[in-house]
Amino acid sequence: MRKVAFQVDTRLAKLLSENYRSSERAIKELIDNAWDADAELVSVTFPEPLTDNPVIIEDNGSGMTEEELLREYLFIASDRRRRRGDYTSLKHRKVKGKKGIGKFAGLMAAKTMMLETWTRGKKYSFTLTTLDLEASEDIEKLPINLDMENCDANLHGTRISLSDLHQSMAFPNPDKFRQILLQDYGRESDFEIIVNKKSLGVDDISGTYTKHMATLPNSGNIKLELTVSNQKGKLKQPGICIRVAGKVVGKPEFFGLDTAEDFPSKLLDKIYGEIEVDGLFNHVTADWGAIVENSELYDEVRRYVEPIIREKVKEEYGRDINLAQARLQKRINDRLSSLPEYKRQYADKAIKAILGKYYGEPESKMEPIVCVILDALERTDYRTVLDYIHEAEHSDIAKLAEVLTEFGLAEIALIGEQAKSRLEFLNRFEQLCQDVNTDEKLIHKTLEKSLWIFGVEYTMFSSNKTLKRQIEDYLGKTYTGKRKNKRPDLMLNVNFANEYLLIEFKRPSHSLTHKDYQQATAYRNDFVQYTKSDINVLLIGGKRGKDLPPLHIKEPNTNIMIFDEVISNSRNQLNWLLTQLGGDMHA
């Protein structure tokens, strides 16, 4: 039996170099090598078109020793991660090199590649050309002249020079190159890339770029750089980064636009920017992972930034949104023309809001939503009565009285519709309470605008934003550090009689205890300093614990409720109301 072996044709290197879609992507592979070498700075210089100057990629990474060159760099298809792990040794970066073929990337763009590397007082260099590869039959026998000379012991890094650019390839485009780099390196704080003497930045994104500098009353100087992308695909890391004292805080964010009901969610992927706010230094969490909750300084920054982003998105995509509306409106113009003028204006405004919110959705999905709006305007009896009032505004008193009588009947119908809607709300809310994963925050969010569920006496309470702001400020100062997770989950509201209501929620699966009762009343004592009236306390949970105080010894203006009882009582009242309304409608 005779042993045989694979032979490696020198065409392999050429085939590997052709593994890239463009010369820009091939050169980007050399940037990945600098990243893996723990470089903090990499500079790329592209020559002017039609010149013989080389493309130069130079970094200040760790450089390579002779052994690393021989055993790693010149070892084809050697997987660095298997040798050294998934992370770099100095900066613990996630290694990008996977297949060990990136060394040939430069030959995709040029016929000649020269590598120079400095480390530990030695400089090594060699040159590789496509002609050398074509002239050799076996890549393993390809002679490479590795030069060595002494150098300054403090020097470290690598420089690659690509000469004799392939004439058959499109000349490397610096702008396109920046676009590619931004996808992977646009958010890195310790890896600066300079292309043709310009650092990679927000303005390199293709789209509408803007820069704002201002001094806010409390947050101080801010600098906002923002680009609304016009490229087809999604940005890899959209949003606005907050930079404090030169360091990025947490992940990119959207300053409230991601929760705004009137902002198209698909356009969030087009927002890319950075804001410097050194005034937030004392409002950054210890791990530098976020801005502390309830920061008034951050809120000030948000109020300043949010409308700027909205305006720039509108500038870039407003025309597209209007065109989408125009295409859809052709199919509904007949229905709109049958409406009175004032109704038509209302419908037009509503349709624009819907199209803006659902920008980018197919028209087949949008048209049914628009039709629902038109159906409501065309068919609802309540709207018909409003038509009569509109027509009677300038008529005689008798006509107006007749119309108001009809309006009263319509009001009864409207209350009936509202009662049915509230019953549906109760059914869904009951399902929520039965879910063991439902927590206090979710209950808070659900009931914040639906205090009617607790009874008629709570219906007139509304949010007091001024008081809420003071309370949030108090919570932000008091419940910090280890106490942060023990913050009360509450809402403070005020009614027309200037009476205050404090609600403390517990999860529906929680049995109320005497400790919960003491906690809720203690909050009242803490917050009463902000009001001129007493505060009514409502404690609500899943069950009554055995150690809760009896009703006759509770503190004044304190009430304890259970979710099941609240839902049952509210449902009984609504059913009774529907029964009474049925009699009135037929009277």
| pLDDT > 70? residue 83 | no
Judgement on whether residues 190 and 219 belong to the same structural domain of the protein: no
| pLDDT > 80? residue 460 | no
Quick one: pLDDT at residue 350?
Answer: 66
| Domain presence at residue 470 | yes
User: Of residues 477 and 113, which shows the higher confidence score?
Assistant: 113
Decide which of 406, 428, 450 is a domain's last residue.
428
Judgement on whether residues 32 and 117 belong to the same structural domain of the protein: yes
Which range is least confidently modeled, 331-335, 507-511, 558-562? Answer: 331-335
Quick one: pLDDT at residue 160?
Answer: 94
Number of CB atoms found within 10 A of residue 357's CB: 16
| pLDDT > 60? residue 81 | no
**Structural domains in the chain (count):** 4
Judgement on whether residues 21 and 169 belong to the same structural domain of the protein: yes
- Report the percentage of the chain scoring pLDDT > 90: 22
pLDDT tens by residue, 26-35? 889 899 989 9
Which range is least confidently modeled, 107-121, 276-290, 371-385, 488-502? Answer: 371-385
pLDDT category, 233, cuts 50, 70, 90?
Answer: confident
Pairwise CA distance, residues 559 & 542, whole Å: 14
Quick one: pLDDT at residue 403?
Answer: 47
- Joined tokens for residue 583: 């009699």
pLDDT tens by residue, 245-291? 888 898 899 998 888 767 878 888 999 999 999 999 999 998 888 89
Quick one: pLDDT at residue 147?
Answer: 92
pLDDT category, 371, cuts 50, 70, 90?
Answer: low
Judgement on whether residues 406 and 465 belong to the same structural domain of the protein: no
Contacts of 132 (CB under 8 A, 6+ apart): 142
| Domain presence at residue 60 | yes
Q: Please tell me which of 183-187, 322-326, 352-356, 412-416 the model is most confident about, judged by mean pLDDT.
A: 183-187
Pairwise CA distance, residues 127 & 311, whole Å: 53
| Domain presence at residue 580 | no
Quick one: pLDDT at residue 303?
Answer: 92
| Domain presence at residue 578 | no
Average pLDDT of every residue of the chain: 78
Judgement on whether residues 73 and 172 belong to the same structural domain of the protein: yes
| pLDDT > 90? residue 173 | no
Decide which of 195, 219, 246 is a domain's last residue.
195
DSSP letters spanning 51-96: --PPEEEEE-S----HHHIIIIITSTT--HHHHH-SB-TTT-PBP-
pLDDT category, 2, cuts 50, 70, 90?
Answer: very low
Judgement on whether residues 363 and 470 belong to the same structural domain of the protein: no
Q: For 365, phi and psi rounded to 5 degrees?
A: -85, -30
Which DSSP symbol is given to 12?
H
Contacts of 146 (CB under 8 A, 6+ apart): 66, 69, 124, 125, 126
Tell me which residue of 129, 182, 183, 122 sits closest to 153, measured CA to CA.
122
CATH number at residue 140: 3.30.565.10
What is the 3-state secondary structure of 348-413? Answer: HHHHHHHHHHCCCCCHHHHHHHHHHHHHHHHHCHHHHHHHHHHHHCCCCHHHHHHHHHHHHHHHHH
What average pLDDT does this structure show over 401-427?
65
> C-alpha distances in angstroms, 264 versus 86, 182, 260, 369, 399?
38, 24, 9, 15, 45
Q: In which residue are the tokens 């309370």 written?
A: 471
CA 144 vs. chain centroid, Å, equals 51
In 3-state terms, what secondary structure has residue 580? Answer: helix
Quick one: pLDDT at residue 389?
Answer: 47
What average pLDDT does this structure show over 313-340?
68
226: left (phi over 0), alpha (psi -120 to 50) or beta: beta
Quick one: pLDDT at residue 407?
Answer: 47
pLDDT category, 381, cuts 50, 70, 90?
Answer: very low
Quick one: pLDDT at residue 166?
Answer: 79
Judgement on whether residues 311 and 363 belong to the same structural domain of the protein: no
What average pLDDT does this structure show over 227-246?
88
Quick one: pLDDT at residue 165?
Answer: 84
Judgement on whether residues 267 and 298 belong to the same structural domain of the protein: yes
Q: In which residue are the tokens 């780099």 written?
A: 181
| Domain presence at residue 141 | yes
Decide which of 195, 228, 259 is a domain's last residue.
195
Q: For 494, phi and psi rounded to 5 degrees?
A: -135, 145
pLDDT tens by residue, 528-560? 777 767 788 888 999 888 888 776 566 788 888
pLDDT category, 298, cuts 50, 70, 90?
Answer: very high
Specify whether the CB–CB gap between 172 and 23 falls below 8 A.
Answer: yes
pLDDT category, 19, cuts 50, 70, 90?
Answer: low
| Domain presence at residue 105 | yes
| Domain presence at residue 582 | no
Q: Show the domain range for 352.
A: 329-428
- Joined tokens for residue 472: 């949030």
Judgement on whether residues 235 and 171 belong to the same structural domain of the protein: no
User: Of residues 131 and 123, which shows the higher confidence score?
Assistant: 123
Question: What would you report as the CA-atom Rg of the chain, rounded to the nearest whole angstrom?
Answer: 34
| pLDDT > 50? residue 5 | no
What average pLDDT does this structure show over 228-244?
87
Burial 29-39 (b: 16+ CB within 10 A, else e): bbbbbbbbbbb
Which range is least confidently modeled, 138-152, 244-258, 282-296, 454-468? Answer: 454-468
| Domain presence at residue 124 | yes
Quick one: pLDDT at residue 584?
Answer: 46
CATH number at residue 484: 3.40.91
- 76 exposure class (CB count in 10 Å sphere: 0-12, 13-18, 19+): middle
Which range is least confidently modeled, 23-37, 281-295, 388-402? Answer: 388-402
Judgement on whether residues 269 and 173 belong to the same structural domain of the protein: no
Quick one: pLDDT at residue 334?
Answer: 66
Specify whether the CB–CB gap between 363 and 327 falls below 8 A.
Answer: yes
Q: In which residue are the tokens 């917050």 written?
A: 527
Q: In which residue are the tokens 């009762």 written?
A: 517
Which range is least confidently modeled, 203-207, 317-321, 406-410, 492-496? Answer: 406-410
| pLDDT > 80? residue 429 | yes
Please provide the size of the chain in residues: 587
Quick one: pLDDT at residue 481?
Answer: 61
Quick one: pLDDT at residue 467?
Answer: 66
What average pLDDT does this structure show over 331-347?
67
Judgement on whether residues 68 and 53 belong to the same structural domain of the protein: yes
Judgement on whether residues 133 and 221 belong to the same structural domain of the protein: no
| pLDDT > 70? residue 329 | no
